[in-house]
């Protein structure tokens, strides 16, 4: 059983997979977080300074664990997606998808002909030749999640059509950029943004596709998303964990000397 299938099974059972974002270059971070027991890791190629080699090392570091590995690419571009797929990743996250046409291109970039435009040349994805070519081609649609990130009001307006695209496996909401798209950056709790979030939950429920959210750790916000019906959640990042842990240890230690 693949780690992605394990995650899918959790969702079917009504459990909520929990993941975390990785942005540092050192692949020991991925190894450590996978050992913590996170259900998935999100390797960030959009905002972080990761190169292909860093990304490959992160993916390799999770091998042998029960943690699925997704990579967020910078944009919907088949040229950027192809080498990541060849590394054997279990999901691609496409940021700022706003239309069904963009979702179609995203899916097509992950799909072999005749339904898609992905060029053939897997390396690590076929375990360097240990997996039969025809078996890989047959199984890859189920073994790689195509995830659309919903983080713009236009995406919310077009969400019905985005979720109707064949091959879209899941969506995940980015509240920060969603708030920014309506002129309220940094205010995800604003009533106007909350209404957009509620609308996403309602539409996702109708389509019955895995619906997730990417947020920092905030009990109130997480409970609100649980009420909206999320099936999976990415909480925090390596950066925020290290910063918060460092600040806490520093503060607590200094207080011992008072």
**Segment (H or E) for 211:** strand 211-215
> What is the C-alpha R_g of the chain?
19
Phi and psi, residue 107, nearest 5°:
-65, -45
3-state secondary structure of 237: strand
Q: Are 66 and 131 in contact (CB under 8 A)?
A: no
* Helix (H) or strand (E) segment spanning residue 173: strand 170-173
Task: Indicate the DSSP class of residue 119.
Answer: P
Classify burial at 149, counting beta carbons within 10 Å of its beta carbon; exposed 0-12, middle 13-18, buried 19 or more.
Answer: buried
Residue pointed to by tokens 């959640």? 233
Catalytic residue among 47, 152, 190, 207: 47
| Catalytic annotation present for 47 | yes
DSSP 15-42: ---EEEEE-SS-THHHHHHHHHT-SEEE
Q: Cα 214 to the chain's mean position, in Å?
A: 8
Any idea which residues carry the catalytic annotation? 47
């Amino acid at each position: 059983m693949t780690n992605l299938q394990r995650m899918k099974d959790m969702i079917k059972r009504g459990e909520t997979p929990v993941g975390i974002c990785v942005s540092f270059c050192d692949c020991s971070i991925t190894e450590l977080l996978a050992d913590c027991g996170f259900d998935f890791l999100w390797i960030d190629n959009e905002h972080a300074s990761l190169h292909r080699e860093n990304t490959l090392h992160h993916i390799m570091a999770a091998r042998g664990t029960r943690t699925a590995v997704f990579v967020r690419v910078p944009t919907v571009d088949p040229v950027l997606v192809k080498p990541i797929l060849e590394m054997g990743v279990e999901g691609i996250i496409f940021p700022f998808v706003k239309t069904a046409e963009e979702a179609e291109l995203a899916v097509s970039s992950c799909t072999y002909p005749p339904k898609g435009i992905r060029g053939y040349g897997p390396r690590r994805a076929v375990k360097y030749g240990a997996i039969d070519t025809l078996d890989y081609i047959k199984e890859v649609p189920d073994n790689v999640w195509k995830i659309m990130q919903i983080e713009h009001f236009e995406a919310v307006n077009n969400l019905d059509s985005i979720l109707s695209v064949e091959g879209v496996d899941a969506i995940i909401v980015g509240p920060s950029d969603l708030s920014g798209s309506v002129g309220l950056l940094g205010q995800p709790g604003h009533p106007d943004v909350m209404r957009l979030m509620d609308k996403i939950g309602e539409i996702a429920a109708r389509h019955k596709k895995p619906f997730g959210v990417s947020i920092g750790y905030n009990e109130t916000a997480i409970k609100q998303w649980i009420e909206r019906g999320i099936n999976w959640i990415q909480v925090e990042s390596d950066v925020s964990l290290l910063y918060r842990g460092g600040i806490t240890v520093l503060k607590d230690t200094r207080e011992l000397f008072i």
